[in-house]
Structure 1
Amino acid sequence: MTAPASAMTPASPGAGRGPGPAPGPGRGTGALDGDRLFLMLVGLTVLAGLAIFIAWPMIVVFLKSVAVGSGYGFDNYTKVFSAPKFWTIVGHSLTVSATVTVITVVLAFIYAYALTRSAMPMKWLFRGIALLPVFAPSLVQALGLVFLFGRNGIINRTFGLDIKIYGFWGVVTADVLYCFPQAVLLLVTALSVADARPYEAATVLGAGPVRKFFDVTLPGVKFGLLAAAFLVFTIAITDFGNPMVIGGDYTVLANEIYNQVSGQMNFQLGSVVAIVLLLPALFAFQIERIANRRQFALVGDRSVPLVPRRAPLFDGAMLAAATLIAIPILAVVGIVIYASFVKTWPYNMTFTLNNYTQNTAQNGLQSLWNSVVVSLMAAGIGVVLAAAAAWVVAKDKGPVGRVVNALGLLPAAIPGMVLGLAYVFAFNAAGGVMALLYDTLLMLAICNVFHYFSQGLLTASTSLRQISKSFDEASSCLGGSAFDTLRHVTVPLVLPTLISVGVFFFMRSMVTLSAIIFLISPGTGLAAATVMLLDDAGSTTHAAAFSTLIMAVVLAALAILKLVERLFARPGRPGA
């Protein structure tokens, strides 16, 4: 799950209201100066956090890539680029990402089309199934495929097949399952924002369903399709967990970074590969944002919402298509849960709870508790920083607001593995407070916060833009300061959104792997990394148990969010 639903809104957080209302009768020059000072202090605090934990680490990782002896140069780039193996790995990454993009976008479009343009039953169930992959670490998709199609997979053994899942097609299949929810969320949004008038006009002109699909539907969502394609490409090319589990000898860029840094201790060469991986991610992110903005510009304030009508034949076809797509998602998640209760896969399929109770060499359940603690810290820190940054961007139209906006959106284009490696270089040898933070759960929480900061910022900004500026004007007229307005008006109005942002940070911190893989130590192990270590050690059923526990914790957090949303869904509240 890349973000809460509202985070998919493509408008820039820099858009919105002006710097604030004019002074009211009880507000003098001194009060305005106090408001400006408060805004400046909040803005500079947020800016300092973004500079320390985003800008500085990225500068350091670049400097590391050009460090040669006691000076700087591009010898490391020359060494990497001159190796034939490197270009083979680049080709692997691009081929996998392109293949995953095509397959995922096609399947996600069919699925989203069934959810938005048909009247098929049980849409709520299919929406839930589509989101299942975001409740677990990415490598769970690969783990499930191994249980199904591996050398000892249940399908291979049951039907006497010899499906070879390791390698290119294994990585592609796992990444398609992992990227599918993000593409569906984006395409559902694009297909939901539709104007009924062009369809009515096409019907009057005698156009049939096929003609309307190609002449009206596809042109209307072309930018949504483009945005989905580049979003999926970015996720696929930066994924680390699935290739580690199911890639075999098929190495991609994310794995090469891990091999260079953790396996061979070649930090300079690892930095070069990290910079190379960063470039296509940055490019894809920019194209995705441009496409998103164009998509929503197609719908005006006079648009008539398109409501699907019942058509038994079409609805049945859409239901069948959605079911066929949902079955593999359910099968992969279901087989992992099933394997977690098996004694010894696949030789002794006796039911057991030992996989949940036995302490393992990889810190046992301590890593799960560490993940919960880190996720709670990330939720708290992330909500405060994202809300503060969104408020600064909305109120400060000067250089501080613009820089906060730019730096706040940058993490969306930075692969998690690159950010984690940058933290190692920037803070491992740092002195002072940073030396105290390194190798702690708090540092892991901070890394997760800034890894997913862009989505939190976009969500909070969207909610702030929905608040009428008349609230600020009324507070100012009554003599309230900017702090008073923020505390007594703004925060209560956006509290449901802030809770949603907190749950988002919690959920993503529970399942992330790439951003923290270089930062963990024996004392700060996290559950997602433990799943990878257990699978690597051959303890697949223990890995399945840890995966199931992670999914249970994330689903519990989501249930709490839904409960809170119901409590806040009262008449008169924004978004109620």
Structure 2
Amino acid sequence: MTDQTVSMSSRLRQFRLSDKSFATAVSVGILVLMVIFLVIPAVSILLRSFVGDSGWGLENYTETLNSGRIRELVGNSLTVSAITAALAVSLAYVYAYSIQRTNVVFKSFLRIVVMTPLFAPSLVQAQGLIFLFGRNGAFNRFFGFDFDLYGFWGIVLANTLYTFPYAFLILSAALAAADARLYEGAVVMGAKPMRIFQAITLPSTRYGIAAACFVSFSLSITDFGNAIVIGGDFNVLATEIYNKVIGQGKFGLGAVIGVLLLAPAVISKLLERRIARGQHALITDGSKPLVIGINRSRDLAYGIYAYVVAGMFLAVPLIVLLASFVRLWPYNLSFTLKHYSFDVQNGAQPLWNSIVVALATALFGVVLVTIAAIVVQKFRTPLRGPISFLAILPTSIPGMVLGLGYVLAFNNPANPLNMLYGTFPLIVLLYIYYNHAQGFLITTTSLKQISSTFDEASTMLGGSQLRTLFKVTLPILWPTLVGVAVFFFMRAMVSLSAVIFLITPQTQVAAVSVLQLSDRGANNQAAAFSVCIMLIVLAMLLLARSVLWLAGAKNITLIR
């Protein structure tokens, strides 16, 4: 063996040793952050639920579970969420079918319209419904109707609008995959359209339906904004946590309700995963793409349905926009810009706070989920399993529960990180880890599409893992990371329930301002704040899309 060969082997061993140390250090660092900002807050909720006035024990559980009110609240939450899921999934299925399986015109427009709830805080749906159907809403005031919106059905309708986009995205993906051979065979055998739907289409999308049901149910049972704005005297578990913690300062009882709220979310997630394991591939190498034939009566019927639904989704933000430009809804409809002067406590500062927090969340969120995804997909360390598990754990933790966990964990003088409490950095970290799972899954999916031959070639040429990441992996991955950054920005601008317990007068954000203004009856100013939030999110989406278009990455989806 020549000296040159020995020298090359020695350098490769050094690179491998350096790579191993680097991978271990990064893995430990990312795992420590997950434990501090995800596991400890979740555990703090559980531990605090066992601490009553007389010390450790089941006092809080006994007081809560023996209360007739809590049984009523559980029943209310389950009923509202079940009906919401049924409505959202049923309506979204037909809407997705209209776009994927018919020749309805302007499909891109129809897709964008039903995504509007994603651009605003969840309570904007309740806001819009109140302006339309409330006691002083447009239909009651100007058309002589007598709708009683507040209460059970108000929450159901608002949550249906809120969860519809998530159900639509899942069902649209499920309906997009189809093997034309099955449909051709059914037609040859003389099957009617309804029979084909029952025998082929519906069974092939059952996993998508199940996933959409579980997602809609989880989002509804953990939503706080719609319930508190439009619920009236009808209370659910999410509003009860707020009342116990903010209104009464009973953190122990709030923690118990948090555990109760966590249970259905976790169960629905486990059921979704169990059902998904049984899914099989619908498209194989012998499949033929389904071509949508011309059927004027079918296309007309589905087109009417799609545009009626789209009209409902347009009506909500448009009525909120209109209310922001009138002096006093609905008594004085003269045009004014006074509500955009934000002559309220803190003025427009919450909007600027939200923008700064959202930008920081986007920047640091992308960094953290990318590192976590690289650790799981590229590094071969014993910590891959725990990191992968913790990375998707937030999908099972409601925002209000995690936010309360942050209060209990970091508003504790014994915690060395107590200095973070009441600051913007802690809010940024909460937003990052609350939305961590979605960003991680998107990034991991893109990493899986990058062949390992790039890493192997780099290693053979003597490149370290760090050099390979910066020279090979990240340049390929960057368009996806732009999409993930936009996702984090959007969620930080519109999320309400996760941050409601962490807000102080100095750290006020726009979504909370909307809630507080609505709560004290300043609906026009609340509408102006909502409009500003939606415009900021849309501006960021357009900016990111422009960057991707100029860079030639035109096929990246920014809303997932």
Measured against aligned partners, the alpha-carbon deviations of 1:436-466 in whole angstroms (never above 9, x if no partner) come to 2111111111100000000000000000001
One-letter code aligned to 2:459: S
**Which of 7, 29, 35 is the matching residue for 2:19?**
35
**Preserved contact between residue 393 and residue 401 of structure 1 (Cα < 8 Å):** yes
The 5 A counterparts of 1:273-352 are 273-292=257-276, 294-295=278-279, 297-352=281-336
Q: For 1:296 and 1:337, how far apart are their aligned partners in 2? A: 45
Q: For 1:298 and 1:572, how far apart are their aligned partners in 2? A: 23
Structure 1: tracts of 5 or more residues without a match: 1-23
Q: For 2:557 and 2:454, how far apart are their aligned partners in 1? A: 12
One-letter code aligned to 1:512: S
Q: Which residue of 1 aligns with 2:231?
A: 247
TM-score when scaled to structure 2?
0.95
Q: Which residue of 2 aligns with 1:365?
A: 348
Measured against aligned partners, the alpha-carbon deviations of 1:543-563 in whole angstroms (never above 9, x if no partner) come to 000000000000011111211
Is 1:205 equivalent to 2:189 in the alignment?
yes
Instruction: Give the C-alpha shift of residue 257 in structure 1.
Output: 0.3
One-letter code aligned to 1:384: V
**Preserved contact between residue 131 and residue 320 of structure 2 (Cα < 8 Å):** yes
**Preserved contact between residue 281 and residue 413 of structure 1 (Cα < 8 Å):** yes
Structure 1 residues 443-452 or 196-205, which shifts more? 196-205
Q: Which residue of 2 aligns with 1:412?
A: 395
Q: For 1:340 and 1:293, how far apart are their aligned partners in 2? A: 48
The 5 A counterparts of 1:33-432 are 33-69=17-53, 71-292=55-276, 294-295=278-279, 297-361=281-345, 363-431=346-414
One-letter code aligned to 1:485: T
Structure 1 residues 424-433 or 106-115, which shifts more? 424-433
**Preserved contact between residue 226 and residue 288 of structure 1 (Cα < 8 Å):** yes
Is 1:497 equivalent to 2:469 in the alignment?
no
One-letter code aligned to 1:344: L
**Preserved contact between residue 534 and residue 542 of structure 1 (Cα < 8 Å):** yes
SS of residue in 2 equivalent to 1:58: helix
SS of residue in 2 equivalent to 1:207: coil
Q: For 1:161 and 1:261, how far apart are their aligned partners in 2? A: 38
Q: For 1:356 and 1:314, how far apart are their aligned partners in 2? A: 46
The 5 A counterparts of 1:6-25 are none
Q: For 2:174 and 2:119, how far apart are their aligned partners in 1? A: 23
Is 1:519 equivalent to 2:485 in the alignment?
no
Q: For 1:529 and 1:301, how far apart are their aligned partners in 2? A: 51
Closer, same or farther: CA 179–43 of 1 in aligned 2, 3 Å: same
**Preserved contact between residue 224 and residue 291 of structure 1 (Cα < 8 Å):** no
Closer, same or farther: CA 238–28 of 1 in aligned 2, 3 Å: same
Instruction: Give the C-alpha shift of residue 364 in structure 1.
Output: 1.6
Closer, same or farther: CA 574–92 of 1 in aligned 2, 3 Å: closer
Is 1:529 equivalent to 2:509 in the alignment?
no
SS of residue in 1 equivalent to 2:507: coil
Instruction: Give the C-alpha shift of residue 310 in structure 1.
Output: 2.5
Closer, same or farther: CA 214–572 of 1 in aligned 2, 3 Å: closer
One-letter code aligned to 1:553: I
**Preserved contact between residue 190 and residue 295 of structure 1 (Cα < 8 Å):** no
Instruction: Give the C-alpha shift of residue 426 in structure 1.
Output: 0.1
Closer, same or farther: CA 293–509 of 1 in aligned 2, 3 Å: farther
Q: Which residue of 1 aligns with 2:3?
A: none
Q: Which residue of 1 aligns with 2:456?
A: 473
Closer, same or farther: CA 570–460 of 1 in aligned 2, 3 Å: closer
Closer, same or farther: CA 182–25 of 1 in aligned 2, 3 Å: farther
Measured against aligned partners, the alpha-carbon deviations of 1:377-431 in whole angstroms (never above 9, x if no partner) come to 1101110010000011112455310000101111011000000000000001145
SS of residue in 1 equivalent to 2:114: helix
Is 1:558 equivalent to 2:548 in the alignment?
no
Instruction: Give the C-alpha shift of residue 25 in structure 1.
Output: 7.2
Closer, same or farther: CA 574–86 of 1 in aligned 2, 3 Å: closer
Measured against aligned partners, the alpha-carbon deviations of 1:259-304 in whole angstroms (never above 9, x if no partner) come to 0000111110000000000010011122223444544644334433
Instruction: Give the C-alpha shift of residue 31 in structure 1.
Output: 1.1
Closer, same or farther: CA 573–453 of 1 in aligned 2, 3 Å: closer
Closer, same or farther: CA 393–456 of 1 in aligned 2, 3 Å: same
Q: For 2:285 and 2:379, how far apart are their aligned partners in 1? A: 28
Q: CA RMSD in A?
A: 1.9
Closer, same or farther: CA 498–83 of 1 in aligned 2, 3 Å: same
Q: Which has the higher contact order (CA 8 A, sep 6+)?
A: 1
Q: Which residue of 2 aligns with 1:13?
A: none
**Which of 426, 430, 433 is the matching residue for 1:447?**
430
Instruction: Give the C-alpha shift of residue 573 in structure 1.
Output: 11
What is the percent sequence identity of the aligned residues?
47
Q: For 1:188 and 1:321, how far apart are their aligned partners in 2? A: 16
One-letter code aligned to 1:232: S
Instruction: Give the C-alpha shift of residue 477 in structure 1.
Output: 1.5
Instruction: Give the C-alpha shift of residue 209 in structure 1.
Output: 1.4
Structure 1 residues 135-144 or 61-70, which shifts more? 61-70
Closer, same or farther: CA 77–200 of 1 in aligned 2, 3 Å: same
Q: For 1:571 and 1:25, how far apart are their aligned partners in 2? A: 43
